[in-house]
Amino acid sequence: MSQETEKEIQNNQEENTSEDVESVKNPTEETAVEASEETPEETPEETPEETPEETSEDTKENTENADKEKEKEKDKPFWRDILEMFIYFVAVFLLAFLIVTFVGQRTVVDGSSMSPTLSDKDNLIVDKISYRFTDPKRFDVVVFPYQHAKRTFYIKRIIGLPGETVQIDPEGNIYIDGQILDEDYGAETILNPGRADVPITLGPDEYFVMGDNRNNSSDSRDYMVGNIKRKDLVGRAFVRIYPFKDFCIIKHGEE
């Protein structure tokens, strides 16, 4: 075979080989294109936008209600404001009156008759409700009105109870029904027994009271004070609120 013939055959084989390669590549490209057409790209799901219809409606309703309230306030006659204010002050006054009358009240110690337990200018709260449920006890510190002066109250300690007999001897000893009273509230020995230098028998609703400063106290030893009736007891000292440094609950003898 000649060399020219061999070259032609070789060229033909190379052309066939290149066509085969192209034919192999082309189907692959078509397949890829078809696959891309059959498999659509995934797109994120669209979330519906929230419509603020409900919120806006609520806001609108609240605004309308507020406007209505303002209109009502404007339409309310002036005399109703005065009436409401009057009712308010009456309620406050009534509450304060009930507290002062039946529960407790503030009082100020004037003088030193209860020294050293209480001092001059001490501010106290008097418990006015306890004696509505219980009877006064010995050594209670009580408040009662002075019968011979208006708006004057005394504060003393109960020594003798209803039905007892009280006497003070020349040595300053206190006797209850013939027995010496065991107590140490008095700051010093009693020098003046007053009307108690003889036995004093108390009535069924009477109390014998004395100040702790025994030689500087006007109390049941004095004829101007005498025995104190149950109905005249305003209450008992409950707490000292001033001076602040001396704030304390008042302790009574049998507590």
Q: What is the pLDDT of residue 76?
A: 62
Give the C-alpha distances (Å, rounded to integers) separating 67 from 20, 25, 55, 57. 87, 79, 18, 15
- Model pLDDT, residue 79: 74
Active-site option among 25, 56, 113, 130:
113
Query: Looking at the domain 102-249, which fold is it?
Result: Umud Fragment, subunit A (2.10.109)
DSSP 234: -
Contacts of 180 (CB under 8 A, 6+ apart): 173, 174
Per-residue pLDDT at 82:
81
Mean pLDDT by 10 residues, the chain (255 residues): 50 49 42 41 49 56 68 66 76 59 74 91 91 93 90 93 97 95 86 95 97 94 96 92 90 67
pLDDT value, residue 85: 78
Handedness of CA 70, 72, 75, 78 (dihedral sign): negative
User: Is residue 18 among the annotated active site residues?
Assistant: no
The pLDDT, as a whole number, for residue 17 is 47
pLDDT recorded at residue 20: 46
> What pLDDT does residue 148 have?
86
Identify the active-site residue in 25, 56, 128, 156.
156
Q: Where are the domains of the chain?
A: 102-249
Judge contact between 141 and 151, C-beta under 8 A. Answer: no
218: annotated active-site residue = no
